[in-house]
Amino acid sequence: MKKKLWSIVSSVIGTILLVMICLAAFIVLSSRLSGGEPTFMGYQVKAVLSGSMEPTFKTGSIISIKLGDQRTSYKTGDIITFRMEDKLITHRITDVIQENGQAVYKTQGDNNNGPDLWTVPAQNIIGKYTNFTIPYIGYALNYANSKAGSALLLIVPGILLLISAFRSIIVAKNELEGSKA
C-alpha cells in the first residue's frame, strides 16, 4: 500500500514539475520569438532586481502589472513600471505635474531617501502594479531569460519527456510480461 501511494505521489509531483518547466519554457520562448514581453490578458510579470521598493516587495520577487495605454491616467500613490534610458523601473508616484497640457509623474522608490531626479512622461509608463507579488521567483525568471537559462529550458523538458516515455514503455512491458505469466 505504501509503495503504491508513494508511486502516485511521485507521479503527481513529477507531472507538476514537468508542466511548470514546460510553461516556463513556453513563456521564455514566446517572448524571445515575439521580441517583446509575454502578456496574458493585459497583464505582464516583471522581476524585481533591486531593493528600492522594499518592504512593499522584496528583491527577487515577481510582480504583476496591468498594462496601460495613452488614455490611462495614474494618481499619487500608484506604483508604476516605466522605461527610463533602456531600464525598467518600478516606483511609486509622489506627484502628478501638468507640463504643456500633459501629465508627467514624479516618482520615488519606497526604500529610497528622496524622490527620483527625473519626471516620467506618460508615454514611458508601461503599466501599474496590481498588488500581486510572488517572492524569490524573480531570480529564476531572470535566469530563464538569459542565454544559458533559455538553453536549459529547452534541454530539460526534452530530457524529462524522454525519461517519461522510456518509463512508460518499461512499465507497459513489465505489465505485459506479468499478464503472460
pLDDT for res 179: 67
pLDDT for res 31: 61
pLDDT for res 45: 80
Full pLDDT tens readout for the chain, 181 residues = 677 777 788 888 878 877 776 766 666 666 666 555 666 677 888 888 888 999 998 888 889 899 888 778 899 999 999 999 888 899 999 999 998 888 899 999 999 999 999 999 999 999 999 998 888 877 777 777 777 877 777 787 778 778 888 888 887 777 777 666 5
Cell output for 64: 504583476
Given CA atoms 160, 165, 167, 168 in this order, what sign does their dihedral have?
Answer: positive
Cell output for 116: 527620483
* Direct distance between the N- and C-terminal alpha carbons of the chain, in angstroms, rounded to an integer: 23
Domain boundaries, given as residue ranges, for the chain = 1-36+145-175
- Is the pTM here over 0.85, yes or no? no
Q: How far apart are CA 139 and CA 73, in angstroms?
A: 31
**How deeply is 129 buried, as exposed, middle or buried, from its count of CB atoms within 10 A (0-12, 13-18, 19+)?**
buried
pLDDT for res 108: 95
pLDDT for res 66: 92
Give strand pairing partners of 84: 87
pLDDT for res 102: 87
Of 64, 49, 52, the residue nearest 140 (C-alpha): 49
pLDDT for res 99: 87
Could you confirm whether 11 is annotated as catalytic? no
pLDDT for res 5: 78
What strands lie across the sheet with 119-121, from one edge to the other?
39-40, 43-47, 62-67, 125-134, 79-84, 87-99, 102-108, 119-121
Which residue in 11, 50, 146, 168 is the catalytic one?
A: 50
Q: Output the CA–CA distances (angstroms, integers) from residue 69 to 76, 122, 123, in the order listed.
A: 18, 9, 8
